[in-house]
Amino acid sequence: AQLSSTAHYFVMVPAQPDIHLHLSTAQMPGVLTVSQKMNAAVAKSLVQTPPEGSGVDTFAFWLPERRPKARNLAVKFHQPLALYRPANVINGLNRPWRGTNAWTPAMDDNAPALTLRWEEQVEVRKVSITFDTDFDHPMESVLMTHPERIMPGCIRAFRVSTAEGVRLAEVTENHQTQWTLDLPAPVTTSGLRIDVLEHGEAPPAIFNVSCF
């Protein structure tokens, strides 16, 4: 298939007898496996079929599996997809939408870091970072309970430094989606470096970095 634009696409696998799919426990931002099933709390069948003339569409329910049972399809791409470029953190989008919109390091990177540079030095007073606290799976009420206290892709510990090596902040035990640093005095620098010091089972991801 030749895809005409950047977007989220479904790869649909019809039910077939004697066909089995390999699954993976790996989780990646913006990639999600769903299956046709229903939530018994809000539906009575796999397809919503409202009365004719009611103005409500007929549609099938496609739902992801809740963790820890959640799985993705185990696939390989002949030409790897470049979904998690560093440039994604400056496109202004703070979550997957028509693309992943996130940066993640290589799977074998043991000391991941994101570096942003400007063509000339700028004065920075405030830094804001948006982390991945799982925008893909639905977050039901706390009555449903969750298998973890911190989302798997959230960066739990990190360090923020200038391109010149001046440490601005080091954070441990982070679980927030949005983290903001208000500097006591402006700093003049040619860039920022964010070192990932600790993360969960999923690849560490950053959706947005804003400087003011």
pLDDT tens per residue, the chain (212 residues)? Answer: 788 888 888 888 888 888 888 999 888 898 889 888 877 777 778 888 888 888 888 888 888 888 888 899 998 888 888 889 999 999 999 989 888 999 999 888 999 999 999 999 999 999 999 999 988 877 666 777 777 888 888 999 999 999 999 999 999 999 999 999 999 999 999 999 999 999 988 889 999 999 99
**pLDDT score, position 123:** 96
**pLDDT score, position 140:** 66
Q: Are 35 and 62 in contact (CB under 8 A)?
A: yes
Structure token pair of residue 169: 């902040």
Q: Beta-carbon neighbour count of residue 131 at 10 Å?
A: 24
One-letter amino acid at 189 equals: T
Q: Are 29 and 96 in contact (CB under 8 A)?
A: yes
**pLDDT score, position 44:** 78
**C-alpha span between 183 and 186 (Å, rounded):** 6
Q: Reduced to 3 states, what is the DSSP secondary structure of residue 55? A: coil
Domains of the chain as residue ranges with CATH: 86-211 (2.60.120.260)
Q: Are 188 and 110 in contact (CB under 8 A)?
A: no
pTM: predicted TM-score of the whole model, two decimal places: 0.86
